Amino acid sequence: MTKRTYPGWVVGALSVAAAGGWLVAWNMGKSAGAESLRQEETGSSKAGARAGAKTGAKEGSKSRADRGASPTTFIADGETARLLSGFEAIHAGAVPGKVNEKLIQACRGVLLDANQSRRSRNYSLLLQMMRPEDGSALHEQFLELHREGKTYDEYKTMATRWGEVDAAGALNYLTSQVPLVLPGDDFRAIARGWAHTDPQAALAWIEANPDTAKALNARSAVIEGWMREDQQEALGWLGKNLAKMEPRDFVEATRVAFGIQVNGTSTSVESAADWLNSLPQTPFTEQAAAIAWNSIQWSMGEMPYDKAAAVWAKVGGQEWMGFDQFEGFSGAISGNRTADRGMEGFLSALEKTWPAQEITSQFSRWTTQNPEQTLEWLSRAPMSPVTKAAIRGAVSSLQTNNPAAAAEWAAKLD
């Protein structure tokens, strides 16, 4: 079998953020871009203020009578209802230029909740009141709790929100600490949040600080945040800039953008597959497409026959598509909860979408690369127009090196 090999950085792309967590120390020298962070802080704070305004400032100015029944009326969880009932008092503690101590205190109380799902929900709600003034205090709160032996996944949520309300200020604060500790996951969370509110400013920072951005894989984090906030705008930017990226950024941007399209609401899976086929041609386009496709297979496993066949037809004939991918995809679709006719049902749908000539060409290539695995699948596949087209491809490949086997398989077409 001919195995496709990738450079080390490509393999690394399949385990993004494996280092994980705000507790992982990443030590680096003082960034040459610190001055640019300070210059951008004012602009980013304004963007953050605009983002914070979306969280309900107008609603907060209304009287209780104007708002009607309290939302706590509809909350089943008593702790969450109690927290919501105190939001006005917490919000009243916000004074321009000062830390909102009521918010900091409420956040600590929520973090100490042993109920993880409720903790995550309530903490996210509290963060909607976070302002630029509160960012460093919330960061220090996690450090204080860590000194008590307590760690929480909610730091990532806080860092993303910090990026939304004051990204440049957050990075300026973190890079000024002595000793300097800036874990990659923290940085990427801030970058994703920044992209929610001001992606162009985030990209400008990357251009001004290329070494730090490259070391921390910042570009893919910005693209991820941007895609989640405004998919069409982000895809438009990618269309103009993807081919200019360095290989690692190209691969990561492709993986992130494809995955969000598949799982999002703005595009269909078929449209996402079309996008994957429209990638600009570079020496690493095939690697990027293969990694993107492989990273999202679990999401596609429950598609019904017709939809799966339509999606496969978009990508099945590509050079980067290997037999392993076909075998895995067809096996998942033929064995899922709606697959009442097994592999026969999938192949029946596939014959309507995947051109016979393309099937023959791919199976000829796959038989040359991996004859044992490909022929073993053909030996157990139900006979269908797709199977016959695949056998013709296998025969074409076998005629060169194994004429006897070619004749044996050709006889199955009679």
Residue 31 counted as domain residue: yes
Residue 129 lies in a domain: yes
- Least confident window among 47-51, 91-95, 377-381: 47-51
Q: Are residues 175 and 324 in the same domain?
A: no
Residue of 4 and 250 predicted with greater confidence: 250
96 upstream amide cis, omega within 30 of 0 = no
Residue ending a domain, among 165, 183, 201, is 183
Domain extent, residue 399, equals 308-414
Out of 119, 151, 183, a domain closes at: 183
Over 70: is that where the pLDDT of 411 sits? yes
Q: Is residue 309 predicted with pLDDT exceeding 70?
A: yes
Q: Residue 345: pLDDT above 70? A: yes
What pLDDT score was predicted for residue 169?
95
pLDDT beyond 90 at 181: no
> Residue 192: inside a domain, yes or no?
no
Residue 8 has pLDDT above 90, yes or no: no
Q: Is the per-residue pLDDT at 5 higher than 60?
A: no
Domain's final residue, options 136, 163, 183: 183
Average confidence score pLDDT of the chain:
86
In tens, the pLDDT along 275-290 reads 999 999 999 999 999 9
Q: What is the pLDDT of residues 123-176, one digit of tens each?
A: 999 999 999 999 999 999 999 999 999 999 999 999 999 999 999 999 999 989
In a domain, 342, yes or no: yes
Give the per-residue pLDDT at 27.
Answer: 33
How many domains does the chain divide into? 2
pLDDT at 69: 65
| Per-residue model confidence (pLDDT) at position 127 | 98
Residue 259 belongs to some domain of the structure: no
Q: Does residue 3 surpass a pLDDT of 70?
A: no
Which of 37-51, 61-75, 224-238, 256-270 has the lowest average pLDDT?
37-51
pLDDT of residue 68: 57
349 in any annotated domain: yes
Place 182 in a pLDDT band, splitting at 50, 70 and 90. confident
Would you say residue 362 lies in a domain? yes
Q: Tell me: the pLDDT tens digits for 360-380? A: 999 999 999 999 999 999 999
31 with 173, same domain: the answer is yes
The pLDDT value given to residue 375: 97
Comparing 36-40, 161-165, 346-350, the range with the smallest average pLDDT is 36-40
Q: Answer whether residue 262 is part of any domain.
A: no
**Which pLDDT value is given to residue 28?**
34
pTM for this predicted structure: 0.78
